[in-house]
Amino acid sequence: MKKHEIYYMTGMLLFTALLNVLSWVSPSFADAYTDHIFPFFKGTYGRLTSLFPFSVGEWMILAGLVWLAALAVILLLCLIRRTPVLRRRARSFLRATAHLLVLIFLIMTLNCFILYHCTPLSPGGPETARAYTVSELACLRDYVVAEAAACCEQMPHTPEGLLEAPQDLTGKAQAAVHGLAPEYPRFSGYAVTPKPLALSGFISQQHMQGYYFPFSMEANYNTIMQAGSRPFTLCHELAHTFGYIYEDEANYLGFLACTRSEDPFLVYSGWLGILNYVDNAFYRSVGKAEYRRHIQVPEQVRLDNRFLTDEDWVLVEEASPFDTETVHKAADTFVDTTLKVNGVADGYASYDRVVELLLRHYIGTGLLVPQQVP
């Protein structure tokens, strides 16, 4: 590697490392970056990738896998034959790979790592930051179930019992997150165009509804999941592109965006999006006997809230060369490790913290008054 390349790569690595250190030690730095600099990259780079009708990030991942396979082949051939031509090609490939890794580290830092160190959301104000009672959780859970049930009755279903989705959910989701701008100013900026994932079958095996790809600054969604989950997922992934990288915060903001929308389908999707988190937290807190004494989730709501239909699961597993359980476990481990590396101590379980944000929100707005909880 030439001297100027070494200087360049060292400088890039030191600069990237400095950004990470500053974000770790100073939440105010991370907040300022996310509020004032991150929107510039989203409005330029994110706007560019939004021009493509397909997921650029998905193709980047595939290209990266092909690159690594080609590198492995060249290195193997170099070990076997040891010709001068192969050695030169191997050195060129390794040098180019080193440049790419430095660039990826920088992009991930700018579009992801710094965001993990922003000041967390605190809906309801400081006075709501406390321990919550089981009675408060019960009140929230029953409220969510009642709202989901009421919305369900207004939704059109096919004769097979499947939700009929309206047109242009992408545009409606973009409008919904923009509607949060008066309360959360970050949402006033440019909204990227959410992209369908071509490999949605493989994504389904990971039990993932969508992905935010930092290296392409894209919000991506699973096309196989049931229609009722799509608006909430779109708003969740869009929240990531506006700088809210924590999963619990993206869940909370996705819920707010949907339930404050004027579109009944988005409203229903918002309640479905947080139903399992609240319902499961309540069940774990009280057990089966007490759970059954409360309002039950209607069967149609449960059907609408399935990730995939039984028929879709059969098609996904028949088309995939991989075992779903193995893929799911590997994906969980990857997500959990990634979150912990970025300072999220409870890793994958952080998705469930949306329940605390919802309790703070509803207590803060007066809809869930502690002394009135039965």
First and final C-alpha spacing in the chain: 71
pLDDT confidence tier of residue 235, bands split at 50, 70 and 90: very high
pLDDT, average across residues 186-201? 95
Question: What is the predicted pLDDT for the residue at 261?
Answer: 96
pLDDT confidence tier of residue 51, bands split at 50, 70 and 90: very high
Q: 163 phi and psi, to 5 degrees? A: -65, 140
**Strand bridging mode 195-196 / 218-221:** parallel
- Structure-model confidence comparison of residues 348 and 58, the more confident one: 58
Specify the range with the lowest mean pLDDT, choosing from 74-83, 166-175, 306-315, 347-356.
Answer: 347-356
pTM: 0.91
Q: Indicate the length of the chain as a whole number.
A: 374
Question: What is the predicted pLDDT for the residue at 374?
Answer: 39
Does residue 5 surpass a pLDDT of 60? yes
What percentage of residues in the chain have a pLDDT greater than 90? 71
Question: What is the predicted pLDDT for the residue at 348?
Answer: 41
120-179 per-position pLDDT tens digit: 998 877 777 777 888 889 999 999 999 999 999 999 999 988 999 998 999 999 999 999
- Give the 3-state DSSP-derived string for the chain, with helices as H, strands as E and coil as C: CCHHHHHHHHHHHHHHHHHHHHHHHCHHHHHHHHHHHHHHHHHHHHHHHHCCCCCHHHHHHHHHHHHHHHHHHHHHHHHHHCCHHHHHHHHHHHHHHHHHHHHHHHHHHHHHHHHHHCCCCCCCCHHHCCCCCHHHHHHHHHHHHHHHHHHHHHCCECCCCCECCCCCHHHHHHHHHHCCCCCCHHHHCCCCCCEECCCHHHHHHCCCCEEEECCCCEEEECCCCCHHHHHHHHHHHHHHHCCCCCHHHHHHHHHHHHHCCCCHHHHHHHHHHHHHHHHHHHHHHHHHHHHHCCCCCCHHHHHHCCCCCHHHHHHHHHHCCCCHHHHHHHHHHHHHHHHHHCCCCCHHHHHHHHHHHHHHHHHHCCCCCHHHCC
- Structure-model confidence comparison of residues 322 and 107, the more confident one: 107
Residue corresponding to tokens 């321990």: 131
pLDDT confidence tier of residue 369, bands split at 50, 70 and 90: low
Q: 342 phi and psi, to 5 degrees? A: -90, 15
Question: What is the predicted pLDDT for the residue at 19?
Answer: 97
Does residue 16 surpass a pLDDT of 70? yes
pLDDT confidence tier of residue 344, bands split at 50, 70 and 90: low
Q: How many alpha carbons lie under 13 Å from residue 249 in its C-beta half-sphere?
A: 20
pLDDT, average across residues 89-111? 91
Does residue 339 surpass a pLDDT of 80? no
Q: Which two tokens stand for residue 270?
A: 């918002």
> Which amino acid, one-letter code, is at 353?
R
Question: What is the predicted pLDDT for the residue at 347?
Answer: 47
Question: What is the predicted pLDDT for the residue at 88?
Answer: 82
Q: Which two tokens stand for residue 73?
A: 């082949």
Question: What is the predicted pLDDT for the residue at 350?
Answer: 43
d(CA 53, CA 139): 44
Specify the range with the lowest mean pLDDT, choosing from 49-53, 73-77, 78-82, 205-209.
Answer: 78-82
Q: How many alpha carbons lie under 13 Å from residue 272 in its C-beta half-sphere?
A: 28
pLDDT, average across residues 241-245? 96
Question: What is the predicted pLDDT for the residue at 351?
Answer: 47
In this structure, the dihedral spanned by the alpha carbons of residues 100, 339, 239 and 298, taken in order and rounded to 10 degrees, is 140
pLDDT confidence tier of residue 323, bands split at 50, 70 and 90: confident
Question: What is the predicted pLDDT for the residue at 343?
Answer: 62
267-322 per-position pLDDT tens digit: 999 999 999 999 999 999 899 999 999 999 999 999 999 999 999 999 999 998 88
pLDDT confidence tier of residue 212, bands split at 50, 70 and 90: very high
Q: At what angle do helices 84-108 and 3-25 cross, to 10 degrees?
A: 30
Quote the Cα angle for 297-299-203, to 5°: 90
pLDDT confidence tier of residue 372, bands split at 50, 70 and 90: very low
97: nearest Cα among 135, 71, 77, 134: 71
What mean pLDDT value characterizes the chain? 90
Which strands make up the sheet holding 210-213, listed edge to edge? 195-196, 218-221, 210-213
d(CA 288, CA 282): 10
Q: Which two tokens stand for residue 297?
A: 């989730």
